[in-house]
Structure 1
Amino acid sequence: MTTPPMAPADTALLSEPGEAQVPAGEEDRRPWWRTALSRTVPIVGALAGIAVVWYAVSYLVLPPNQRFLLPPPHEVYGEMFGNARLMGPMTAALGRTFGVTVFGLVIAVVVGIAYAVVMSQWRYAERVLYPYAVILQTIPILALVPLIGIWLGYGFPARVVVCVIIAVFPMIANTLFGLQSATAAAHDLLTLNKATRWQRLWKLQFPAAVPSIFTGLRNAAGLAVIGAIVGDYFFQQGAVGIGGLLRVYTERLQLDALLIAVSLTALFGVLVFTVFAVLDRAIVGRWYGHVGR
């Protein structure tokens, strides 16, 4: 006797307890602003949690005579955000760091995708080239920064190079994985139709790699922010970025200004990551649905 097919209500019982049932395609039909809002709310909740912990440490852990080590948030932000002499240079420095981040991320994306394409087309190239990418990823960036400064100076190009070195590996690894993820049946179909190598790359491998490319892009975006800040922190010549201000405030023990700079840096990183997460949802989600995302 055959088992009758289960109704939708029966299949719902097979899901994990507490797992929400989202009708297929419903999430993809949501407007972009609702997607952005759904991703922003958890971040706002995390910031609220940080504020609660901050207040607890300031008032419950630190004695009054040591509260200057971590002033409560309302004192830090209330006094500093109204100080134009402080916020003016800090905003300008954040703008310079943003420029380094954008340039470094664009170069990392182009280099990473091109590197992965070459490795995906020739196995010998993968065996030869992939170890170099791994080595570049495993070398401590702090060991390379002095050399980069000596070779390229301490200005904008050197900081972009640091940014690229930190951000390029996720693009290489994720793009290569995506290009190699097409099924054997799909490759056989193109072989029967006598597709060329480049037709196979363009019509099969790149579409299959789109989700992985966007995953690498999200990771690379966050790392590009870190790379730009690291370059600013160690290259003290030329225009000062937000990383340079972090160094100055640390050396001068300007704790209020340091906390403001750290907060702006964190918000900047979250903003960059959120932008690419929304792009991922808007572009990739329309093609591949919500399954597993």
Structure 2
Amino acid sequence: MAIALVAHPTLDAVTEQIGDALPITGLYYPVRSRPSDSTLPFYGDLTAMLAETGAHTCAFLSPYQNLHKDVKTCLEAGVDVLCGGPIPKLDDQTALQSKARLAIGGVHHSSALFNKALQQRLNPSFAQAVYLRLLSGAQGPGLLPAWWAACKQWTLAIDLLGETPLQLHISAYRQGRAYQIALTAATTSGTTVQLLIAPQRTLTELTLLGTGGTISASSAQSGIALSNAQGTRIMPDVLPPAEIEWLRRFEHKNAPPQPDGASISDCGPLLLRGLRQALRQKRPIALKL
């Protein structure tokens, strides 16, 4: 089992932890930068990394302009691809004609935080979901990282609630290469959904209000808080990054499960078009899903 990683330098801490847990044979940055103290073998060229390491899986953890070209390179070389988010401009025929596997998204299914929240949401005592708020930071500057973060939060929300809203409103603001995004929607059962993307990479917050209690978590607390009529308790979460188990499952031939509604590949282009339109028009945009 040999795995190559492609990631933005801002994910150095994550890639190091992945390297400690799995047989990572190479690391490639899609930007002009080199790691200062990484323990992973670094390559300045993707093709060279694939050839020299003999990797049979390449995991793409970050979005960038030529992502589709690099994914195509892997698939044509017979290298399985696991990608953390949607791939703009990827030719469907490339994936269909390749014998290599391609799986996109689904990192949250390997997250202890998500699975704890889902378990509690499905508990009969939680009753009906009323309000869901997710706040996440983009992993780097630029439109594509902000868009990827929005796609990930959208599919997480769908999977956590178990239903897909019929309409979505997008608001976006840009200052330099920093983007703030707000997605607002309502499900057919009446749950209000608010997803926020901020430039601060380490931000993570989850609040789910139900008629029988509240589930909350944030990067400021090491666990998930469960509140109901009996009081509040904290369930600690000191587990490693979800990407480790996500990769391990893929290596064991278990593709990430798809959400009940549109997959991350289906909703990705729609969200990107809506985001660009909201930025151009400088007002909220309504999207039918």
Q: Specify the TM-score bucket, using the shorter chain as the normaliser.
A: under 0.3
More relative contact order, 1 or 2 (CA 8 Å, 6+ apart): 1
Structure having the larger proportion of residues in helix: 1
**TM-score of the superposed pair, with normalisation by structure 1:** 0.22
Structure having the larger proportion of residues in strand: 2
